[in-house]
Structure 1
Amino acid sequence: MSSPTAFPDASASASKPAGDRLAVVGGGITGLAAAQAAARDGWRVTLLEADTRAGGKLALGAVAGVQVDLGAESLRARRPEGTGLAREVGLGEDVVHPATTAAGIYSRGELHPLPGGQIMGVPGDLRALAASGLLNAAALARVRADRLLPRTPVEGDVAVGEYVAKRLGREVVDRVVEPLLGGVYAGHADRLSLAATVPQLAALAAAGTSLANGVRDLLMTRSASDAGTATPVFAGIRGGVGRLPSAVAEDARGHGADVRIGTGVRTLIKTSGGWRLELSDGTALDVHAVLLAVPAPEAARLLSGHAETAVRQLGGIEYASMAVITLAFPAAALGPEGLPGSGFLVPPVDGRTIKAATFSTAKWPWMAHAAGNLVILRTSLGRHGEERDLDRDDEDLVKAALSDLGEVITMAAAPVDAHVQRWMSALPQYAVGHLDRVAAIRAALPAGIAVAGAAYDGVGIPACIASARNAFDTIKEGREQP
């Protein structure tokens, strides 16, 4: 092994000494955002990504010659971190918004409009829920009974599905909450934490009173605070959200960061002045601090021998695998009625293979322009504990997706191209007690180590960026302590 890079031990300084050195392990959007923030703050940053490319689950590909996102294709615009980072790295003029957000839910063999006036499927507007046709009369009566039920006291965390079913009945969980929540986490409402996945409802659960009234009041408050603003809920990037990682990497490099692709970390070793990283290329790197922006199992491996409590807690975070199937059709093949809105979700209770479909060229004008006489659609499948479909070959997965799509839209011809992207162990599951688990992990970390990413603070792009910046702030504050 070659000699490690030497640096002065500045651990006794009362403020951040010039040349503080940080290693960021992991080159997904979390690691890239952390490296960029640190480099802009004047730190000597080395980002290490074991894969042959940076970006993680943000990736671009081509289907029928059209550039498409193979992973996430939008970000939440009402959180400033995602669009803000895009603007910081020169993509501000390419931030765009969907042409339509009229989504549906395909349930019991019919396409229903996604009801308005809800938070992650939990209704606050019962008239909108009734108008959607998703629930029968008995299920709607059960939802209305919520306003008459006695208190349902909740102590601590609880599963989303368990609590919502107690207040509103099982049908609203199965037909509305489950497809929305599963679309984000690829998990199950009866296992996912209310406090971690829908935190705005946790206070309502603690109060234990009418859930529907509480959601209605939350939405009214939000509407009043949003008055006069025109910020759409979602945003994308012209050419694909997958453009963001390379732009962030280049910005980090422009501020002095060393971004190394194809270089993993074998071992972390504590030193008198910080940490030594033994790398996959046989070299070593000495730094003052390490920010781990990798999935929980990899963080646990690197922390083994240094923080056993954190290792145990990290081992309790499970992951779901999923696949995205992107299809290109001649526009004429979809019939004169075109596509119904931006796409649809599918309740798992209906037993279909796909869990969602996005009509990409209807949703994103830039893609419609690029596609010309083609229509681009994408479907997703796979839920936690139900990844058996991912073992099927690509041809079978495409056939299954086409079969489910064919129940909703007219397809008079076969696709001219298809792409199957598997994302194995991609989405962390926020089980009941997740927030306590994360707090325990962070409390057990040794000095000079921080963790960030989708496993901790939210799975969306803005949440990962915020997690990265908060982790860097924690490291910086630790270095500034006398």
Structure 2
Amino acid sequence: MREEQSRTGTGQVVVIGAGIAGLAAAHRLVQRGARVTVLEASDRVGGKLLPGEIAGARVDFGAESMLARRPEAVALAREVGLTDRLQPPATATASLWTRGALRPMPKGHVMGVPGTASALTGVLSDEGLARIERDADLPRTEVGDDVAVGEYVAARLGREVVDRLVEPLLGGVYAGDAYRISMRSAVPQLYQAALTHDSLTEAVREIQAKMAANQQTGPVFMGIEGGVGSLPLAVAESVRAGGGEIVTGASVTELRREAAGGWRVVAGDRVLHADAVVVAVPAPVAAGLLRAEAPAAATELAAVEYASMALVSLAYRRADITLPEGSGFLVPPVDGRTIKASTFASQKWGWIAEENPDLLVLRTSVGRYGETEILGRDDAGLVDVSRQDLEAATGLDATPVETRVTRWTDGLPQYPVGHHARVARIREHVAKLSGLAVCGAQYDGVGIPACIASAYAAVDQIQGDLRGVEELTANPVQSLHGGAGE
């Protein structure tokens, strides 16, 4: 094995994992003068951010947008030279495919939870709307230390609100089950409001009033010309330009503390000696790496569950099809369809349309937590079922000129009730080990800005400042939108 020891005054740091969290950590470390080596097991950087081409059109085969109302992702893009390529969606109009028709996405709600029954007119039945009105007369529903979003909202407003609107919106972020997802971690605004309000609709109206009073200017979401998948490539380039090393195809097999202080990291035939280590890999991999030195944290990480999904990208000749207006649609699982969403990429992102005037690019997403049968189908089967659902929803019956299926097996960590407490326990165990920190989608949010925030807090932690991780653990930062599937 090749021993590499580089203790210097600025510190040698190894970052394990080159997804957006690991790369953001490396970038921050290089800015602060540390010597950084990033080790990535796969043959590329970027994790769930993956740029590519279909029929010659540049597209994303992973996450396609990032929340712009949080600063971390847009700020990082600017820092690595992407300012001129930042673009908001060309349209913010979306639909729900429910009860046999494409219906305008309701306004006046917080992650599907309305402030008034009228906000969901056209989406819910008359019985469902009447059930919402009963909220003001119901006794208080205690939420305790945490509660499932679906369970709480159904108790206050009825299951139809959950099944027709909350479920597809949360599913777009987590590919999960609203009746299992933690309200405290996934929709912290609602959780905090539920602690102090008897009526849920009243709480939502108060949230909306505060949002209006503090209204931010500019778009809610942001994309990048050429695809959000270009962000990790630009961050990696900046890390290298700053003297950092990024090694792909380097699977870490051992992480141990050394008697003299610091850490020993083994990856293939390389042995690195570092002052500090940032572990930025999915929970099962992190569990394996931490088992020797932080067994309690490893046990907690091993219990984190994941959902798998697939993205089906389809390119059509523009002359062959006509799509409804808007950026696409979401699909409530209760309607029994296979796809859970479709994005009209050429209509959502102006640069795709400008670069490819003769093409229309669409994509569908398939797979939710606990669904195994549909993802067991081959690529052709997923394309077929996507085309069937697209035809039923929009009338689209043309033959695509090219298709591409991208599978994200165990791609999205689940945030069940009690998730915040698990994260707190993991961080408590890790904090006992000097020079070690963790970050990534399994902690404080699956969206790009949340992953970057966790990376910055991890960097602060290994440099002796625990305020960031303490704040994240006490106050989950997951946005109401902007998950990996966005």
Superposed pair shares fold, TM > 0.5: yes
Q: Tell me the equivalent position of 2:474.
A: none
CA distance in 1, matches of 2:17, 2:173: 22
In structure 2, what residue type is equivalent to 1:127?
A: S
User: 2:118·2:129 contact (CA, 8 Å) conserved in 1?
Assistant: no
Of the candidates 129, 143, 158, which is equivalent to residue 154 of structure 1? 143
Q: Tell me the equivalent position of 1:11.
A: none
CA distance in 2, matches of 1:478, 1:243: 31
Q: Tell me the equivalent position of 1:322.
A: 309
Deviation of 1:170 (Å) = 0.5
Q: Tell me the equivalent position of 1:91.
A: 82
CA distance in 2, matches of 1:109, 1:164: 24
Q: Name the SS for the 2:39 alignment partner.
A: strand
Q: How does 1:412-423 map to 2 (within 5 A)?
A: 412-423=397-408
In structure 1, what residue type is equivalent to 2:176?
A: G
CA distance in 2, matches of 1:232, 1:310: 39
Q: Name the SS for the 1:7 alignment partner.
A: coil
Are residues 1:332 and 2:319 paired? yes
Q: Tell me the equivalent position of 1:302.
A: 289
Q: Tell me the equivalent position of 2:32.
A: 41
C-alpha distance after superposition, 1:98-148 (max 9, x if no partner): 111111111121111111011111112432212xx1111111010111112
In structure 2, what residue type is equivalent to 1:30?
A: A
User: 1:178·1:348 contact (CA, 8 Å) conserved in 2?
Assistant: yes
Of the candidates 330, 337, 340, which is equivalent to residue 352 of structure 1? 337
In structure 2, what residue type is equivalent to 1:164?
A: V
Are residues 1:62 and 2:53 paired? yes
Deviation of 1:340 (Å) = 2.8
CA distance in 1, matches of 2:349, 2:142: 44
Q: Mark the CA change 1:88 to 1:6 in structure 2 (over 3 Å): closer, same or farther.
A: closer
Q: How does 1:94-173 map to 2 (within 5 A)?
A: 94-130=85-121, 133-173=122-162
User: 1:89·1:248 contact (CA, 8 Å) conserved in 2?
Assistant: yes
Are residues 1:408 and 2:386 paired? no
Q: Tell me the equivalent position of 2:186.
A: 197
Deviation of 1:6 (Å) = 5.0
CA distance in 2, matches of 1:339, 1:52: 39
C-alpha distance after superposition, 1:136-168 (max 9, x if no partner): 111101011111211112211000000000110
CA distance in 1, matches of 2:17, 2:165: 35
Q: Tell me the equivalent position of 2:247.
A: 260
TM-score, normalised via structure 1 length: 0.94
In structure 2, what residue type is equivalent to 1:312?
A: T
Of the candidates 359, 366, 370, which is equivalent to residue 381 of structure 1? 366
Deviation of 1:339 (Å) = 2.4
In structure 2, what residue type is equivalent to 1:381?
A: V
CA RMSD of aligned residues (A): 1.2
User: 1:153·1:207 contact (CA, 8 Å) conserved in 2?
Assistant: no
In structure 2, what residue type is equivalent to 1:21?
A: Q
TM-score, normalised via structure 2 length: 0.93
In structure 2, what residue type is equivalent to 1:52?
A: D
Q: Tell me the equivalent position of 1:426.
A: 411
Runs of 4+ displaced beyond 4 Å: none
CA distance in 1, matches of 2:105, 2:281: 35
Deviation of 1:310 (Å) = 0.5
CA distance in 2, matches of 1:315, 1:424: 16
Aligned length: 463
CA distance in 2, matches of 1:126, 1:139: 9
CA distance in 2, matches of 1:202, 1:104: 27
Q: Name the SS for the 1:387 alignment partner.
A: coil
Q: Tell me the equivalent position of 2:166.
A: 177
Q: Name the SS for the 1:3 alignment partner.
A: strand
Deviation of 1:208 (Å) = 4.7
CA distance in 1, matches of 2:3, 2:24: 29
Q: Name the SS for the 1:477 alignment partner.
A: coil
- The gaps in structure 1 that reach 5 residues or longer are 9-17
CA distance in 2, matches of 1:257, 1:286: 15
Q: Tell me the equivalent position of 2:234.
A: 247
Q: Using the aligned pairs only, state the percent identity.
A: 52
